[in-house]
Amino acid sequence: MSQRISSSLRYERTVRAMSQSRLAGLVGITRQSYSAIERGTSIPSADVAMRLARTLDTSVESLFRLPEDAPPTVTVELAGPSMSGPGPVRLVEIGGRRLGIPLRDSNASRVEPADGIGRLEATVGLRVELFGDRPPPCDLVVLGCDPSFELIAHTLRHRSRIEVVWIPSASRVALEGLARGHAHVAGIHLVDAKTRDPQAHAVDRMVPFPCTRFRFARWEQCLIVAPGNPAGIEGVSDLAREGIRFVNRESGSGSRILIDLHLEREGIPRAAVRGYEDTSAKGHIAVAAAVAGGLADVGVGIRAAALSFGLEAVLLEEEAYDLVIPDHFLELPGVQALLALLRTSSVRTQVEALGGYDVEGMGLPR
């Protein structure tokens, strides 16, 4: 019986969306031979190993390891977005629980350092194969959709050496994650015509422990349009015009709740808006990117997102964007550093410079 070896073939093949038959054909071996190598029950010849590495644009050493050289693994609870296959994972500890946050998500436009490659296993949880060279331990996990938080996270790392993992999330998703203990901070902007303080109502209803809301900013929610507004979009009523292509936000986002409220006020059926049902952009930046790329004529998002792509924006209304922090996390060094940073004039100036933000009271409790 052949000695078993450890390999990363399955991961490398999966991330390239290649079938076993396809990779085997490119290397010049049978699918059955390749399958045995991937399972670790057959040791490839030096020639086959080098051809596999060349085809996958990696090294033989990164593909194959003897059992005693296999990297350490840990099993943790999955937090954040779901995983459809193996991918990079960041490890965090929140309230004594060790969690794994997938970093490959269509909602994230940036590249973050990972602790290892995670694979979701139904019986054990998220199994993470650790890298030898890993980033510093995470101090703070933040959920929310405000694109300026990337600036905040960068500044925290630079000034206070606080390592932040920011997971772009819709407002309701952020609160749900906070309630499950998967984050230290949730950023939200929610509207409700029937509730005097919809954000406080949502926190009380969705989070089972005491929390404090802190002011981040008031921002301008707008209809984002192309430069010069060639479609002549002046308000929500124009979304139902023939030929207008609308890019919607994902369910549970504050922007989608807002557009629903405006459509209801205008008496416009959702079905009358082309793109309402079959589009779902994850985040303000994604909406602006869709308009900038010509995939849509209009979408709803904050003015800062429009400005970042050189687009124009038609004001809908101003909203409050708040940070929700569980009271049992308020004394954590990372949380204290975040709140202190938000109260500095330099950071407020940086955020206001993005456009459409009013940062009066930033970092103060409501």
Domain ranges of the chain: 6-66, 73-130, 140-214+323-358, 220-319
Residue 221 pLDDT greater than 70, yes or no? yes
Which amino acid, residue 80? G
CATH number attached to the domain at 6-66: 1.10.260.40
Separation of alpha carbons 153 and 110, rounded Å: 13
Query: Percent of the chain at pLDDT above 90?
Result: 70
- Helical ranges in the chain per DSSP H: 9-15, 20-27, 31-39, 46-55, 60-63, 149-160, 171-179, 198-206, 254-266, 284-292, 303-308, 333-342, 345-352
CATH number, domain 140-214+323-358, options 3.50.50.60, 3.40.190.10, 3.20.20.150, 3.40.50.11030: 3.40.190.10
What pLDDT was estimated at residue 7?
78
Domains 6-66 and 220-319 share a fold: no
What pLDDT was estimated at residue 2?
45
Among 334, 340, 348, 339, which Cα is nearest to 183's? 334
Q: Please, are residues 181 and 208 in contact by the beta-carbon 8 Å criterion?
A: no
Separation of alpha carbons 44 and 343, rounded Å: 60
What pLDDT was estimated at residue 9?
87
Task: Give the number of other CB atoms < 10 A from CB of residue 300.
Answer: 27
Separation of alpha carbons 305 and 293, rounded Å: 14
Please, what is the average pLDDT of the chain?
A: 90
Residue 22 pLDDT greater than 50, yes or no? yes
Question: Which tokens belong to 126?
Answer: 């998220």
What pLDDT was estimated at residue 227?
97
Residue 127 pLDDT greater than 80, yes or no? yes
Residue 109 pLDDT greater than 60, yes or no? no
CATH 3.40.190.10 for the 220-319 domain, yes or no:
yes
What pLDDT was estimated at residue 1?
37
Residue 85 pLDDT greater than 60, yes or no? yes
Chain segment 299-325, per-residue pLDDT in tens? 999 999 999 999 999 999 999 999 999
What pLDDT was estimated at residue 18?
87
